[in-house]
Amino acid sequence: MHFDFKKNYRIDIRLIKRGNQAFWYGLLLLGLLLAPAVLPKYFVAQMTFILIYSVIGAGLVVLTGVTGLVSLGHAAFVAVGAYAQAILMARGVPLLVSLALSGALAAMLGLVVGLPALRLRGLYLAIATFSFGFIVEILVSHWESMTGGNSGLSVPTPTLWGVAVTGALFYYLCLVVLVLCLLLVLNVLRSPTGRALRAIRDSEVSAQSMGVNLALLKTYSFVLSAALAGLGGALYAHVMTYLSPEQFGLNLSIELLMMVVIGGVVWLQGAVLGAVFVIALPQAIAVIKDYLPPAIGQQTGLQPIVFGLVILFFVLVEPTGLYGRWIKVRTYLELFPLCPGSVFVRERHFLRTERLK
């Protein structure tokens, strides 16, 4: 059991809350650094996917978990990042520069889409991004001179200072990008901006009356998350090595949202846990399929049903996600014999109407 003695205000916003936190995250980082040396190639490739999804997920946590906005078109930003990366690399732009440019391009598009929609209530952003996602998908499949259309576009092998960045090296690149992105987001979230974003989520009216510029900060959060999605997309392009429009449809947007909801939408750790879950679930289904009776195992609809049921389970039963569950377990263990059952009772929510009366 530990006690927080708050001796000054900075304690509330410091990056490392407790001493043992630094130790455990350091250990995790060490494990991640050693992983390519120990694990087989296949696992390293899957872990690269997890790192990339986590970059995108970090953006979604800022947008959905912290600001309370929903985007149904994040796949479009991933697509923009991925295609920009492929095209820039083919034109001979250095890897790091084109990574930054891809993220910036996605951010600019986010600004264009978000600016009109963000003056409105939350649901409209979901619809505007939904439409935007379709427009980008159609544009990508028809702008053949640039994107290769439906026949696809191959991505050049990334090189950095003359060394081909593939396999384990690419894994390290993704790891560095992820750590930098997480630090960036953590620092945004503990700054006044981050607190303002949380205030917007909890109540727009009261945030506004405290002097929060709603449109500006919502746009900020949307652009940040679009930039991270673009960056993630740029890395994604190199893993896929071959891009085609149907990879970036509504399904990817849903998968990304599902990832943050499953992990726990309010926490950055949740984005990473969700990424692990989303990457591991199809593999788990593929493994379990063999043990099921063929009447069930051979169904094509098995995967969407499982995905749908998992979403329903998390939204209805475990809305705080995997990381929320972990916090509950941890609190229970810390308080062990004394933990009252009423600590984790779910708050009853009521419909908060945004309707004009």
Partner 1 sequence: MQIVISGLAVGCVYGLIALGFVLIYKATETVNFAQGELMMIGAYFAYTMAELWHWPFLLSVLLAILATALVGAAIERVLLRPIEGEPTIAVIMVTLAIGMIARGVASAMPGWGTDTHHLRVPYQGGLVDLFQARLSMEHIVIVCSTAGLCLALFYFFRAAKLGLAMRAVSQNQLAAYYIGIPVSGTNARVWALSGGIAAVAGILMAPITFVHINMGSVGVMAIPAAVIGGFGSIPGAVAGGLILGLCESLAGLYLPEGFKDAAPHVLVLLVLMIKPSGLFADQIRKKV
**Is residue 163 within the footprint of partner 1 (CB under 8 A)?**
no
User: Could you write out the DSSP letters of every residue in 232-265?
Assistant: HHHHHHHHHSEE-GGGGSHHHHHHHHHHHHHH-T
**Is residue 350 within the footprint of partner 1 (CB under 8 A)?**
yes
CB 208, min distance to partner 1, A: 13
Collapsing DSSP to helix, strand or coil, 295 comes out as: helix
Report which of 192, 186, 197 is spatially closest to residue 267, judged by C-alpha positions.
Answer: 186
Q: Which stretch binds partner 1 (CB under 8 A): 16-24, 87-95, 123-131, 330-338?
A: 123-131
Q: Which stretch binds partner 1 (CB under 8 A): 38-46, 47-55, 86-94, 306-314?
A: 306-314
Q: Which stretch binds partner 1 (CB under 8 A): 102-110, 130-138, 170-178, 219-227?
A: 130-138
The count of residues interacting with partner 1 (CB under 8 A) is: 55
**Is residue 209 within the footprint of partner 1 (CB under 8 A)?**
no
| Contact string (CB under 8 A) for partner 1, positions 228-257, x = contact | ----------------------x---x--x
**Is residue 111 within the footprint of partner 1 (CB under 8 A)?**
no
**Is residue 208 within the footprint of partner 1 (CB under 8 A)?**
no
- Distance set, CA 20 to CA 35, 55, 281 (Å): 22, 25, 31
3-state SS, 140-209, equals HHHCHHHHCHHHCEECCCCEECCEECCCHHHHHHHHHHHHHHHHHHHHHHCCHHHHHHHHHHHCHHHHHH
Residue with tokens 């200072």: 161
**Is residue 300 within the footprint of partner 1 (CB under 8 A)?**
yes
CB 315, min distance to partner 1, A: 5
- φ, ψ dihedrals at 341, nearest 5°: -65, -20
Report which of 234, 254, 260 is spatially closest to residue 58, judged by C-alpha positions.
Answer: 260
d(CA 129, CA 155): 27
**Is residue 116 within the footprint of partner 1 (CB under 8 A)?**
yes
CB 343, min distance to partner 1, A: 20
CB 295, min distance to partner 1, A: 9
d(CA 225, CA 197): 13
Which residues make up the interface to partner 1 (CB under 8 A)? 64, 68, 70, 72, 113, 116-117, 119-120, 122-124, 126-128, 130-132, 134-135, 138-139, 141-142, 201, 250, 254, 257-258, 261, 265, 299-305, 307-309, 311-312, 315-316, 319, 349-357
